[in-house]
Chains A and B, each alone.
Chain A
């Protein structure tokens, strides 16, 4: 059964304190791994798609990496506006839908 586990559940950082969020997955035939950002009361906002192990993508202070078992979302020198819940999802096999993790709630204090 396809499964996505995100850790930690919550993360509190000081502004400028870099850290990483983890997404571990088991899926038959990975078609893509996705990172989204979700603000309270809003729909998820697309950040990255990773397709194969070794792939990396960057956007501003965020960098996503992928191995055969997990993905990391690295946040460098975060700012308070980076506070949000970060969701990881996988698409595998013949299914078209995404399997989501429960997310990591990130809080960045000034």
Chain B
């Protein structure tokens, strides 16, 4: 199978602090990883696409300085929410795709609550 592990599954942080979310492909090498945000009863909204060893490509309206993405290896990508505010509270989900493949496999998601 293709397993993607996301950690932590939930986190509560104080306003103004930074939070790092990890996304790991456990049994395959992921040349491309995607970060999504999901609001209640809404579709998954793509935030950015990251390719191993290069800078992430951010979707329109997503602040790259606020949502830092690093894809340093073929099995790990991280999303850091900097200077978090309550409006950043959401469900963040990563997905990973093997090279030359079309299917993307998702992590379990991270529920971020900023208080």
Interface centre among A46, A49, A51 (most CB of B within 10 A): A46
Please tell me the size bucket of the interface on B.
20 to 34
Please tell me the size bucket of the interface on A.
20 to 34
Q: Tell me whether chain B's interface is mostly helix, strand or loop, or mixed.
A: strand
**Complex contacts, B109 vs chain A, CB 8 Å:** 41-43
Q: Nearest Cβ in chain B — how far from A99, in angstroms?
A: 8
A71-110 interface bits toward B, Cβ cutoff 8 Å, 1 = contact, 0 = none: 0000000000000000100010000111011110000000
**Complex contacts, A41 vs chain B, CB 8 Å:** 91, 109, 111
Partner of B97, one of A31, A87, A96, A103: A96
B: residues with CB less than 8 A from A are 2, 4, 6, 32, 34, 41-44, 46, 49, 91, 93-95, 97, 102-109, 111
A: residues with CB less than 8 A from B are 31-32, 34, 36, 41-46, 49, 51, 87, 91, 96-98, 100-103
